[in-house]
Chains A and B, each alone.
Chain A
């Protein structure tokens, strides 16, 4: 899973780079517009280690933001799973708020909280929260009738059991959504760093942009891609292990 993610990213990156080179040499663009491979290699040697730590800085905010959004999405998803008015209200709110581009709210957050860690964290968690919430809401609000019937009929159904049944039955969906939300959280953090921050890879890309340093940006994109691939691969592996541990037969024979 992990290696597949990495080589898939490498294929995409190399193809994109090849496309850029094709444009450069077909149209005859200078290194100033699209840098040559030698310039990219040279820039990579110069900035790679600094960018690596910048990406790790961004990733730390991403992981924390994602964690917060997962906790929030599950809390609200569990509360909103019922067909009562509270559940309906939460669902309607979630569907309507997620239609609004959260990035557009970023300037307000920066005005209120200023540059720095909290603003980045808030934007990262908000951007990955809503898609997560909609998935969790959908999963938690859909009854697994053929399992739940017995517990309802015998008066044993508790909210914890209901959540456990629905989460277990949709484990694959949940792990996919959580792994997928990592990219969103990373995007949120980078966007926050683009707008107004003084750290992270987004901040470094902004500086490279002001210097029209496309080679630097390409190196940054490589760093982001490779690290997010590793992170997503790790999340997916973790999800697989969780699924195996939770649902794989323990004892007993296949009959």
Chain B
């Protein structure tokens, strides 16, 4: 599996400056990878370009072993005419019922299955939305702040579980949480106003032993790169 980007430049129609300029990097293994940077540097634009959501930039992407790319973001909604459980049932592909139940348990949303989406808090909505993506067939899933508003402990549980359940898929995690990105992601693409580069994260997995010194070093490296 390999995901590579070469010379990507993207300018919004009518804008003076490109939001992404000559972006090149490569991610060569499945797992949790991240896109990190301050607001407005083009993280979401980049994610949408990768997912091919109607935007076209100059430059090219290479996808090896990746045919299905899904893009999820934190403002998505489930339709309001029936319960969230019923919506999850409807979009669950055959044979994925067990996975769905497991994710419902890990994401701690069992008690929300009979509620309407609009009744849920932001964090609950984001968890519910992410579950329906994870039960689909995909090779690469972009999580654009998909765990925003979820409390830190549960977020860690979810990320570690997802890493364990889907070891052969590529995740592109977009977050503003420096510690989280440094701890759980392997390759971290730093988008800044200057040069863009990839920093190697700690990539902690289930049962990890915290390495404070190493984590601080990685965080410092990321901060310096931003």
A residues near B, CB below 8 A? 146-147, 149-150, 153-154, 156, 164-165, 168, 246-247, 249-255
Residues of B within 8 A of A255 (CB): 112, 115, 119-121, 124
* Residues from chain B with Cβ under 8 Å of A168 in the complex: 79-81
A146-B76, A168-B79 as given contacts; A153 in contact with B115, CB under 8 Å: no
Over the window 93-131 of chain B, the binary record of Cβ atoms lying under 8 Å from chain A Cβ atoms (1 yes, 0 no) is: 000000000000000000011111001110010000100
- How far in angstroms is the closest Cβ of chain B from A242? 11
Please tell me if the beta carbons of B70 and A250 are within 8 angstroms of each other in the complex: no
Query: Contacts A149-B76, A250-B83 known; A154 to B136 CB distance under 8 Å?
Result: yes
Chain B contact patch, size range:
20 to 34
Chain A residue at smallest Cβ distance from B124: A255
Chain B residues in 8 Å Cβ range of A153:
51, 70-71
What is the CB-to-nearest-CB distance from B73 to chain A, in angstroms, rounded to a whole number?
Answer: 8
Min distance, Cβ A245 to any Cβ of chain B, angstroms: 10
Whole-angstrom CA separation of A206 from B89 in the bound complex: 61
Given contacts A252-B114, A255-B124, contact A154 B81 (CB under 8 A): no
Q: CB distance A249 to B79 under 8 Å?
A: no
Contacts of A149 in B (CB 8 A): 53, 71, 73, 76
Residue contact A147 to B119, C-beta cutoff 8 Å: no
- B115 close to A249 (CB less than 8 A): yes
A146 to B53, CA, bound (A): 13
Q: In the bound complex, do residue B132 and residue A150 qualify as a contact, i.e. CB atoms below 8 Å apart?
A: yes
Please report which residues of chain B, range 64-84, place their CB below 8 angstroms from some CB of chain A when the two chains form the complex: 70-73, 75-83
Given the complex of chains A and B, what is the CA–CA distance between A156 and B81 in angstroms? 17
Question: Can you name 11 extra interface pairs (CB under 8 A) apart from A150-B132, A156-B91, A252-B83?
Answer: A147-B76, A147-B77, A150-B72, A150-B76, A153-B70, A153-B71, A168-B80, A249-B115, A254-B119, A255-B112, A255-B121
Give the shortest distance, in Å, between A146 (CB) and chain B (any CB).
5
Contacts of B71 in A (CB 8 A): 149, 153
5 contacts between A and B (CB under 8 A): A147-B76, A150-B91, A168-B80, A249-B119, A251-B83
A255 to B37 Cα, complex, angstroms: 33
Q: Which residues of A contact B204 (CB under 8 A)?
A: none
Q: CA separation between A129 and B81, bound complex, in Å?
A: 28
Q: Considering only CB atoms, which chain B residue lies closest to A245 in the complex?
A: B81
| Distance in angstroms between the alpha carbons of A153 and B137 in the assembled complex | 11
**Chain B positions within 8 Å of A251 at CB level:** 83, 114-115
Pick the residue among A246, A252, A253, A254 that contacts B81 (CB under 8 A): A246
What 10 A-B pairs have minimum CB-CB distances, sorted nearest first?
A252-B115, A251-B114, A252-B114, A249-B116, A147-B77, A146-B77, A146-B76, A247-B80, A154-B136, A146-B75
Per-residue A-contact encoding for B39-50, CB less than 8 Å = 1, 0 else: 000000000000
A85 to B78, CA, bound (A): 30
Tell whether B25 is near chain A: CB-to-CB under 8 Å: no
Mask: chain B, 129-146; 1 = CB below 8 Å from A; 0 = not? 100110010000000000
Per the bound structure, the CA–CA distance linking A46 and B27 in Å amounts to 89
Q: Which residues of A contact B77 (CB under 8 A)?
A: 146-147
Complex CA distance for A250 and B81, rounded to whole angstroms: 10
Residues in A with CB closer than 8 Å to B51 are 153
Contacts of A250 in B (CB 8 A): 82-83, 114, 116
List residues of chain A with CB within 8 A of the CB of B124.
255
Contacts of B121 in A (CB 8 A): 255
Bound form: Cα–Cα A83–B82 in Å: 29
| Cα-based distance from A247 to B79 in the complex (angstroms) | 9
Within 8 A of A (CB), among B1-17: none
Task: Determine the distance from Cα of A250 to Cα of B115 in the docked complex, in whole angstroms.
Answer: 7
In the complex, what's the smallest C-beta–C-beta distance from B142 to chain A, in angstroms?
Answer: 10
Whether A252 and B70, one on each chain, are in contact in the complex, defined by CB atoms closer than 8 angstroms, is no
* Contact present for A252 and B136 (CB under 8 Å): no
